[in-house]
Structure formats: C-alpha cells, structure tokens
Amino acid sequence: MARIERKAFQLIDPKPVTNENILMALGIALVEIRASDDLAKARMLADSFHNAPAMIARGADPHDTWASVLSTARRIEMERYVVSLLSHVQAGQISN
C-alpha cells in the first residue's frame, strides 16, 4: 500500500521528502493545534501527524512516513492543508 501511495505522492510533489521536512511540518501543525479555537480541526491535524515521530524514530523511509501522514489526512479530508504545510517547509519559508 505504501508503494502505491508513494507513487501517487510523487505525482503531487516532485521535491524529495526528508525527515527534517516532516518534522518541520509537524512543528507548524503543533503551533496550529495550540492556536486553534476549533477542537475538531485540531484533532484532525493531530491525527494526521501522530504516527510520524514514531516512524522517524524507527528509521522508516521518509516517503513511507509521509505516505502514512497523507493517508490519514486524506481519510479525514485534511490532505490539501497537510500538503500545503510540507510545501511551505520545502519552499524555505520557515524561520527558526
């Protein structure tokens, strides 16, 4: 399944996905969750990313980790927003 999702993701975004990119996107998501007044949206965003840290810690391929994030985000109709977080990070529009 991850292989199919990886191919689909490559059609969406040709830039390489790295663990650093995923963690930066997660950081943005955590800020969004903290600032959100919409508990349902905050939960959906948390659900999208909740497996990523463990997958990264286990040494999973970044594309598999991102495919997992996208799979959950797609299921709960947050895919476009989650992809926009990664695109934002990849464009270098993040300051520490």
Pull the structure tokens for residue 72: 């959950």
Q: Are 15 and 90 in contact (CB under 8 A)?
A: yes
All residues at 6 or more sequence positions from 52 whose CB lies less than 8 Å from its CB, including other chains: 22, 23, 26, 65, 68, 69
Query: To the nearest whole number, what is the mean pLDDT of the chain?
Result: 88
Helix 79-90 × helix 19-35 angle, to 10°? 120
Given a cut of 90, whether residue 15 has pLDDT beyond it is no
The residues spanned by each domain of the chain are 2-9+19-90
Give the tens place of pLDDT for each residue, 41-67: 999 999 999 999 999 999 999 999 999
Q: Are 88 and 28 in contact (CB under 8 A)?
A: yes
User: Scanning the structure block, which residue is given the tokens 């292989």?
Assistant: 3
